[in-house]
Amino acid sequence: MAKTVSEGGGPEQPGRRRVLGFLVGSGVMASFVSFVYPILSFVLPPESGELDADTVAAKANELAANSAKIFRMGNRPGILVRMADGNYKAFSAVCTHLNCTVQYRQREHDVWCACHNGVYNLQGGVVSGPPPKPLEEFAVHARGQDIVVTRESRT
Amino acid sequence: MPATSQQWRFLLMLAVLLVAGSSARAQSRDIGTPPVDTCRTCHAQLDDRLGEPAKQFADDIHGTRGMTCASCHGGDPREEDMEKSMSRARGFRGVPKRSEIPQLCATCHSDGAFMRAYNPSLRTDQLSQYKTSVHGKRLAAGDTKVAVCSDCHGIHKIRAASSPISNVHPQQIPATCGRCHGDAEYMKPYKIPTDQMAGYKTSVHYEKLSGGDLAAPTCVTCHGNHGATPPGISSVERVCGTCHVFQEQLFDQSPHKAAWAPMKMSSCLTCHGNHAIKHTGDFLIGTGKDSICMTCHAADDNGGKVASQISTVLAGLDKSLAEAGAILDSAEQKGMEVGEARVTLSTAHEKLIKARVDLHTMNSARVEETTKAGEKLAQQVNQDGVQALAEYAFRRKGLALSLFAIAFVVICLWLLIRNLERRSAGEEAGRSGGS
Amino acid sequence: MPPFLMLRDWWEERFGTELFSFLWHKQVPRHKHTIWYYLGGMTLFLFMVQVVTGILLLLYYRPSPTEAFESVQFIMTKVKFGWLIRGIHAWAANLLILTAMLHMFSTFFLKAYRQPRELTWVSGCMLFFLFLGFGFSGYLLPWNELAFFATKVGTQMMAAVPVIGNWLLTFFRGGEEVTGATLTRFFGFHVAIFPLLTTMLLGAHLFLVQYFGMSTPISVEQAHKDKPVPTYAFIPNFLLRDIMGWYIALGVLAALAAIFPWELGVKADPFGATPAGIKPEWYFLFMFQALKKIPGHVLFIEGEQFGVLFFGLGAALWMLVPFLDRKQEGPLKRLPAVAGGVIVAFIIVMTIWAWRS
């Protein structure tokens, strides 16, 4: 026997069904709002609009020639070097020997690890000292006023 | 009548010239054609100790480069007749004496022009270095127990030092040196310690070396290889400082440097040892029971007070880092992402490492400057961790709220269903006749 | 007039009463096994949840090895309620497969596949395999260590298929090894190919369910030989209960996402060592364990091949059950139920065994 939801009341408490129907209806609508709110918040892009895969390491003229800066690349430190000729190089700043953070030496124009005197050149290659592997190099691009560092795809 | 030493030297020179001559013959051979080496072909067929060297020589670096037995032993490697190939007239000299070996090897290895044809970047100063070494000096004085070229490099199975099975590969060096220097019986006449090997094996350097870090120091790193000599007290600091640059520079600024030199106390070794260099730890400094400072200082003298201050700030930063790490672990375990805070924490940890290097100045203000920077970062990490935990708690409250709302809807639905069905059940009953 | 009725009248003025009238008049049999009827709708609901949360995740996810992990990390940490959407998507995937299994086994044991509902059963089985495919392809997308190696191990099994094994392996991996090409391919399966196939099959499946109506179990039919089986209306009685269940499911999902967040792990390193104890997700564990434990050779067939053939044949037989169990009488009457029981026990035992080892 088909019965529709609100067809007639009937002798017993028509009000109660209407009240319940109203409660359910408004409860469902309220729950819909509680679904819609998170979804709407989700689809609006967050302030840090870009993904960390594209890292803005510095602003265009932040670094002088022959100087460098440590920045965050994902969860590890990276080093952005502005060479004497004004061009940029970026590497992982994690020394391949025992994971200390490397630094740029202005006088020698090289990258140096203070922990055990490991020295890298500006191609990331090992010049002397204990490091067994070169520093991973990243790609550097200028985008507007930003210097952007990205990791090249491995596959 | 026994030959005078002068006569022996003359004969030696003659033999050497002949050897050099035969090697020159080997040089003019075309590369790619294996040399005619009747010595090898005959001796390889023997099974006893005369056959072993010939069989081994196939893998020797000299053998693969076109040398023949005659290159060192003299004689004529093209002659099959034993009388002719091993004739003294053709320069055959048999087994060289131990005292002659360095000179013998040097005929080629000290000749720059000659070595250029084989490996232009190989050094050619091994013999001159050797002559400055304790081994070289004692050999010249007549002691044949000391090491000569063949003792370390091998005789007929010599391989390049970069080969992992070479006796002089970095990972094999401790065993090679230890063969004599760790043998108490053998070293008895020299009255020097023989516990270096045993000590070195407990060291952090050996741990790194056997773990695969070929840059870790071995015996030759500090003592030299051909010019092997224990470093003097003044030079040991510079030796350690080749890798531990900052420690050396900072130590030079410390009051210990000036104080220890006249007392003939070695800079690095006094606290860290020479062979048995163990892992360092914060327990080494301060007034605790394992502290090195207390060997000379009392807890209440100037030195003791500085040590105590340094020890305190280091321990403080270590504790802050551990606490910050624990909060991050707790947040992470609850599923919160704390990658960025972890980066800050590792930067803070680097400050602790730097502080431990700074302490070589024995300047507590300097160390505290570094630890304060570390504390600041640790505090930031702490805040991030607390924030992550707060976010987690917020989510649980949000969840509780939404569950409450859902439960409300579900209950209303349930009541509605019951109402509807009581309704229709009642109507049905009514319709099927109120009998 | 209540707005609801006004809307209905508006609709009927244009579309007549026929368009969805089947829903208005649909009756659902009411008996002790009615509760199993809800599982189909629950599976559908959870699938809808996956579609919605999946589309939302698509707004931020990037399917390349250099960005996949980072984009999921971004969703979990930076996007508002990203943790919730991703958490629900991950948990609902598991609940969906669980519910689908319960739905499938309950229809099996209640023999809802009897004539005329054979095609409903077949389309349902295919949907189940599609859901497994969704699970397998989606699992790789965060490109974390566990997923990478689980995919490596899982796709390796394909090489054991006779004749076309290597071709299958290369097809699914997008190459010889699991690489970024695999990720792109799995992404394509997960968001385009499988959804398309599912839409078609689901449409057919739902149509067939409405066309033939709900199946009444044999025991109930026999108990009601001379009277009609009591029913109640789909709308509102059954549907309201359905909605109740769906709300409870939503609550469960939200609680799981908030209290037991789905972890992200570490980014995959294809050149790293395989971590110890790699296991696929729970719904593949029984197959994984069985294939592990098969001896090197069974008769003349290589162990792994035997395993793959065994499961392949098993799946085919399972799909063809309505055509094998045509008469529900005679000496083999109990065979399907017994076989089903054995299968369920096998799955449970193997899953627990894999879990514990």
Helices (H), B182-265: 196-201, 204-210, 219-223, 233-241, 245-252, 255-260
A4, A51, A154 ranked by CB distance to C74: nearest: A51
pLDDT in tens, B90-121: 888 889 999 999 999 999 999 999 999 998 98
Q: Do A1 and B243 touch (CB under 8 A)?
A: no
Q: Read off the tokens for C253.
A: 């999902």
- Mean pLDDT of the C222-245 span: 86
What one-character DSSP code corresponds to residue B286? Answer: S
Q: Do C247 and B406 touch (CB under 8 A)?
A: yes
Q: Is residue C139 within 8 Å of C94, Cβ to Cβ?
A: no
Q: Do A5 and B420 touch (CB under 8 A)?
A: yes
**Any residues with CB less than 8 A from the CB of C160 and at least 6 apart, and which?**
C291, C302, C304, C305, C307, C308
What is the residue whose two structure tokens read 């209905």? Answer: C8
Euclidean distance between CA atoms C168 and C189, whole angstroms: 15
Q: Is residue A137 within 8 Å of B387, Cβ to Cβ?
A: no
pLDDT in tens, B24-58: 444 444 455 667 888 888 888 888 888 888 888 98
CA of B347 vs chain C CAs: smallest distance (Å): 20
**What angle is formed at CA B155 by the lines to CA B153 and CA B160, rounded to 5 degrees?**
40
Element of type H or E holding A89: strand A88-92
Euclidean distance between CA atoms B143 and B189, whole angstroms: 11
Q: Alpha-carbon torsion B274, B278, B282, B283, what sign? A: negative
For B3-63, the DSSP string reads PPHHHHHHHHHHHHHHHHHHHHHHHTSPTTSPPP-HHHHHHTT--STTTHHHHHHTTSHHH
Euclidean distance between CA atoms A130 and C157, whole angstroms: 43
Give the pLDDT confidence score for residue C356 in this predicted structure: 87
Q: Is residue A39 within 8 Å of C53, Cβ to Cβ?
A: no
What is the residue whose two structure tokens read 């564990």? Answer: C285
Q: Do C77 and B395 touch (CB under 8 A)?
A: no
Which chains does B contact via 3+ CB–CB distances below 8 A? A, C
B339, B342, B412 ranked by CB distance to A23: nearest: B412
pLDDT in tens, B266-315: 888 889 988 999 998 888 998 888 899 998 899 889 999 999 999 999 99
Q: Alpha-carbon torsion B66, B69, B70, B76, what sign? A: negative
What one-character DSSP code corresponds to residue B293? Answer: G
Q: Is residue C28 within 8 Å of C34, Cβ to Cβ?
A: yes
Q: Which one of C4, C77, C252, C267 would you mutate to disrupt binding with B, by most B Cβ within 10 Å of its Cβ?
A: C77
Q: Read off the tokens for B304.
A: 């003791």
Helices (H), B275-363: 302-333, 339-358
Residue A44, helix vs strand vs coil: coil
SS (HEC) of C129-164: HHHHHHHHHHHHCCCEHHHHHHHHHHHHHHHHCCCC
Instruction: Report the 10 Å Cβ neighbour count for C316.
Output: 10
Q: Do C258 and B417 touch (CB under 8 A)?
A: no
Nearest CA in chain B to A70: B347
Q: Is residue B137 within 8 Å of B97, Cβ to Cβ?
A: no
**A77 vs A66, A108, B227, B337, CA distance in Å?**
20, 22, 42, 18
* Domains of chain C: residue spans and CATH: 20-272 (1.20.810.10)
Q: Name the band, by pLDDT with cuts 50, 70 and 90, for residue C265.
A: confident
Euclidean distance between CA atoms C133 and C52, whole angstroms: 18
CA of A84 vs chain B CAs: smallest distance (Å): 26
Q: Name the band, by pLDDT with cuts 50, 70 and 90, for residue A155.
A: very low
Among B120-134, B347-361, C3-17, the range scoring the smallest mean pLDDT is C3-17
Q: Which one of 1.20.140, 1.10.287, 1.10.3470, 2.40.128 gives the CATH number of domain B302-408?
A: 1.20.140
Report which residue type is found at B237.
Answer: E
Euclidean distance between CA atoms B47 and B5, whole angstroms: 37
Q: Do B412 and A27 touch (CB under 8 A)?
A: yes
Which chains does A contact via 3+ CB–CB distances below 8 A? B, C
Nearest CA in chain C to B422: C237
Model confidence at B400: pLDDT above 70: yes
**Any residues with CB less than 8 A from the CB of C265 and at least 6 apart, and which?**
C142, C144, C145, C146, C147
Euclidean distance between CA atoms B433 and C7, whole angstroms: 35
Give the pLDDT confidence score for residue B11 in this predicted structure: 67
Q: Is residue A68 within 8 Å of A79, Cβ to Cβ?
A: yes
Cβ contacts of A23 on chain B, cutoff 8 Å: 412, 416
Q: Is residue B315 within 8 Å of B355, Cβ to Cβ?
A: no
Q: Alpha-carbon torsion B172, B177, B183, B186, what sign? A: positive
- Mean pLDDT of the C21-46 span: 89
Residue C297, helix vs strand vs coil: strand
Model confidence at A2: pLDDT above 60: no
For C332-347, the DSSP string reads TTTHHHHHHHHHHHHH
Mean pLDDT for all residues in chain C: 90
Q: Which one of B332, B334, B337 would you mutate to disrupt binding with C, by most C Cβ within 10 Å of its Cβ?
A: B337
Give the pLDDT confidence score for residue C15 in this predicted structure: 84
Q: List the end-to-end C-alpha distance of chain C, in Å, as a whole number.
A: 65
Helices (H), A2-96: 14-43
Euclidean distance between CA atoms C69 and B120, whole angstroms: 50
Chain length of chain C = 357
Q: Is residue A108 within 8 Å of A133, Cβ to Cβ?
A: no
Euclidean distance between CA atoms C112 and A31, whole angstroms: 35
Give the pLDDT confidence score for residue B16 in this predicted structure: 58
Q: Do B419 and A20 touch (CB under 8 A)?
A: yes
pLDDT in tens, C85-94: 999 999 999 9
Among A73-82, C60-69, C239-248, the range scoring the smallest mean pLDDT is A73-82
Q: Do A155 and C5 touch (CB under 8 A)?
A: no
CB contacts under 8 A, C 236-265 vs B, are 236-237, 240-241, 243-244, 247-248, 250-251, 254-255, 258-264
Is beta strand A54-59 parallel, antiparallel or unpaired with respect to C231-233?
unpaired
Nearest CA in chain A to B426: A12
- Mean pLDDT of the A78-92 span: 92
- Mean pLDDT of the C335-353 span: 91
- Mean pLDDT of the C274-290 span: 86
Euclidean distance between CA atoms C132 and C127, whole angstroms: 9
Q: Name the band, by pLDDT with cuts 50, 70 and 90, for residue A153.
A: low
Nearest CA among B388, B387, B381 for reference residue B337: B388
Question: Is the previous residue joined to B174 through a cis bond, with omega within 30 degrees of 0?
Answer: no
Please check whether residue C129 touches A, CB under 8 A: no
- Mean pLDDT of the A15-30 span: 83
Nearest CA among B355, B135, B380, B128 for reference residue B247: B355
Euclidean distance between CA atoms B295 and C60, whole angstroms: 63
Mean pLDDT for all residues in chain B: 86
Nearest CA among A2, A144, B368 for reference residue C235: A2
Q: Read off the tokens for B417.
A: 């269903």
Please check whether residue B343 touches A, CB under 8 A: yes
**B191 vs B139, B186, B223, CA distance in Å?**
17, 11, 18
Q: Read off the tokens for B397.
A: 């409250």
- Mean pLDDT of the C35-60 span: 96
Q: Do C247 and B334 touch (CB under 8 A)?
A: no
Q: Is residue B427 within 8 Å of A10, Cβ to Cβ?
A: yes
CA of B297 vs chain A CAs: smallest distance (Å): 29
Classify residue B174 by burial, with Cβ atoms within 10 Å: 0-12, 13-18, 19+.
Answer: buried
Tell me the backbone φ, ψ of residue C14, rounded to 5 degrees: -100, -45
Which chains does C contact via 3+ CB–CB distances below 8 A? A, B
CA of C255 vs chain B CAs: smallest distance (Å): 6
Element of type H or E holding B298: none
Tell me the backbone φ, ψ of residue C227, rounded to 5 degrees: -135, 155
Nearest CA in chain C to A35: C250
Q: Is residue C230 within 8 Å of C138, Cβ to Cβ?
A: no
**What is the spatial order of strands in the sheet that A103-105 belongs to?**
A103-105, A110-113, A118-120, A126-128
Q: Name the band, by pLDDT with cuts 50, 70 and 90, for residue C107.
A: very high
Q: Do A52 and C73 touch (CB under 8 A)?
A: yes
What one-character DSSP code corresponds to residue B274? Answer: S
What is the residue whose two structure tokens read 């809807």? Answer: B409
Please check whether residue B403 touches C, CB under 8 A: yes
Integer-rounded Cα Rg, in Å, for chain A is 30
Euclidean distance between CA atoms B342 and B381, whole angstroms: 8
Rounded to the nearest 10 degrees, how much is the dihedral formed by the CA atoms of C34, C36, C40, C45? Answer: 90
Q: Do A38 and C24 touch (CB under 8 A)?
A: no
What one-character DSSP code corresponds to residue C192? Answer: I
Mean pLDDT for all residues in chain A: 82
Model confidence at A152: pLDDT above 80: no
Integer-rounded Cα Rg, in Å, for chain C is 23
Model confidence at B434: pLDDT above 60: no
Give the pLDDT confidence score for residue B428 in this predicted structure: 64
CB contacts under 8 A, B 318-377 vs C, are 334-337, 339
The upper half-sphere exposure of residue B70, i.e. CA atoms within 13 Å in the direction of its Cβ, equals 31
Q: Read off the tokens for B347.
A: 């930067």
CB contacts under 8 A, C 215-274 vs A, are 233, 235-237, 243, 247, 270
